[in-house]
Structure 1
Amino acid sequence: MNGMLKAGQILEAESLGKVTVEELFGSGGQGEVYRVSTERGDRAVKWYYPQLADGRQRQILDGLIDRGWADDRFLWPKAIVVDPRNPQAGFGYLMDIRPDRFQDLPALFRRLPSVSAVTPRALVTAALHTVEAYFTLHSKGIAYRDINWGNIFFDPSTGDVLVCDNDNAVVDGEFAAVAGTMNFMAPELVRGDGGAQPGTQTDLHSLAVLLFMLLMNDHPLHGARLLRIHSLDEHAMRRLYGTDPLFVFDPSDTSNRPDPAEQQTVLTLWNLLPANLRALFTTAFTKGLAHPGDRVRETQWQSALSEVLDGITCCTGCGQQIMTSSDGSALDCWACARQLRLPPRMEIAISRGASRPRRRSIRLDPQARVYAHHLEGDTERHDFSKIVGEVTEHPTKPGRFGLTNRSGNVWTVRRDDGSVQDVAPGRTVALRPGLLVEFGGGAEAEVRP
């Protein structure tokens, strides 16, 4: 093990006791990460390079640890770690180990086998979870300051996310040594505008870049201009991301459009993206590039991504997942070119628990589910473990589907002929246009073609 720490070395975590170094996991721009053993099981330690282990970083860590962040989407610092025999050797911090099921985004971009089976549903879910995770920080007045593809890990099968490298997050407005990663930084930070500092407002730009890369597999400013750059040195990067940024799909300037021969993937994916997401990306990388106040907020991303997720359906010809448009317009399957046969949709109206009445629309695909968050007005975090209803196929009549009550409450349903029926937990009601469902708690729905 070639690193700053040695296998078997004994460290001490403040208030948590002895820590034994086991192996080097890897290294990054600020330090090295090790697997360590403690009385409570294996954990990880990030140990800073000597030049970065200063008083300011120690102060930031103390503040983060004192907050006692209990959100399972973050590998949050738990304790300062030092070498008790050599206190001047520097320091690090203790955190939980990233589970093996989480993969990094570069693996997705390189199409490694570990993420080769990822579905559109999992990608949109990961994007939604990412937005909600950073919104949690921002709502507490904390700026992450270095949102980039190296700090988010995701589960390719579920879309769950894990935010790492949280040791640079500080209260918005406070100084931090890290300003960001160049190709994710807001233009005003890249240019070094007077008074510009990394904070929640610049995080919004970085978040939009991350979402674009997650869904489009490319950078929003990497079009034809990038291909004309012979050497992507610091001067070229400052122009590309700071002094002269131009969105690849800018509606009024086509000079940076992706090259059809060299950048076909992003062109194809953009055409497959639902209109609501294309509109938000266009806002983020046109108005948002020049005016920080016009950047897309997390709640806007959350609403759009949730809508797209609820509209995903499978092609009956080849089984591929398709992101459909909310207006129900006809689409062709991107994989087999057949015209999609869109399933009926459930229009849910929520009158309680919202700042204003809310409506949600779910495509009743054979894999569709109604979750608890569908029946809530304002949702801070989508929880896909709380299933309220599930589309199920009739056991003896293939091709006929119903909605099975997976909640603990009795539903009341009204058919288009006026008949009324109670649907107890575990029971199923046939899905037909005109069906009205009262879930309780101020949420009701209608099935429409």
Structure 2
Amino acid sequence: MDKYRVPNRMNLLRAREYGLENSFVHIEQTRRIADFTLCKYRSLTPFHHSSICTMCLEQSECRYLLSGDASGHICCHDMFPSSLVATHPVIFRIDRNSNRDHHTHKVCSLIWYPNDNGLFITLGLDKKLKIWDTNRVKMADEYEFGNFAYSAHMAQTSNTSLVAVAHENGDLRLIDIRTGSNSHIIHSHNGKGICLVKWFNNNPNLLASGGADGRVLFTDIRSSRTYYMILDPDNVSTDNPQVKPRTTTASTSSVAHTRGIKSLEFLPDNSHLLTLGADSHMYLWNVNSGQRLLVNYGRMPTDNVRIKTLACTQMKHDRTKSLVYVPCGKSICAYDILSGERLTTLSGHLVSVSTCIYNRLSIELYSCSDDILVWAAIKKQQENYELSIKTQERRPETTRSLAQILNRDQWSDDDDEV
């Protein structure tokens, strides 16, 4: 935790005077991401009446937050401004009362179209993938499947139109929303099904998929092979010459986790992948070599949440300062990614947390369970605000008591007798 502490402020100001103002911004960002606390005086206008399953923040403005619940309802909140005291309004809603095209079952995935918040995609357990026009809040297109699909993802690169959908029968289906084609199917996993699918951050042709059997596969959609790499936990990256790593494609039965995959998150550096399994373990992998880095995060609490979304962040000026916020039951645990050290635990939810989202512009964290909470580095500001409220509450009482003293009755018993 020491490396996240702020150095002498006078040195930072002196560096800014010499034209190194970026260092001030970077160090301040580093301090804030490791010092999150619950925003007590910020709330979202209530909408959901059942548990919230997933959320998605658009990346063009980092302002509009989509959320979907177990009843199939969807809403969008405006998270601007990020002030100390605020109530974020609902921009639009999709439910049985407002839109006849709403999902009839649980919402599994929400996807904003990259670089443009005029379109978003939803996937539900009603076996339907829907494409929505944000401005009109109307469905533009719909795809219906014969099997349940638990996860969908779209590459976050420009000029992309492919959506990858993970099905329970082990198939990956690629949908081109530009042409309407959904005939490309990759039979990569076995009949136990696929839990998660994620595109690589820097390559719209590569994707990672996690199965219910614990396998994690890397697939190149340009190749005829079902996958080109399978992650093996025994293939470790170490400086010890006595440890010989395995080849990454030798065994097709290798499993990254002994139970199903709950989370796949690529780090912002595009070189590492975090996997979280139902076996209560989280592993860090080198994407290029497929080797597992020897980082011990300890055991993660297990719960009934099928898919968990982790919030990863890295400082551009120093890649060694990397954090991940992991839903752990009713709490959120912050880990140093490269060392495995648990830095802090955020508590505030009453039921299990399913999703954490990091806002890179306002440097905030959003988490959801039965409600949505906001976390930011505003502990000192909240203490000052609470102190000012208490001072204002005491001031009228003091004024009234002083007025009573000055205007008190000056009569005496002797005057009454006369």
Compute the TM-score of the two structures, normalised by the length of structure 1: 0.27
TM-score normalized with structure 2 length: 0.29
Tell me which of the two structures has the higher relative contact order, counting C-alpha pairs closer than 8 angstroms and 6 or more residues apart.
2
Is the strand fraction higher in 1 or 2? 2
Over alpha carbons, which structure has the higher Rg? Answer: 2
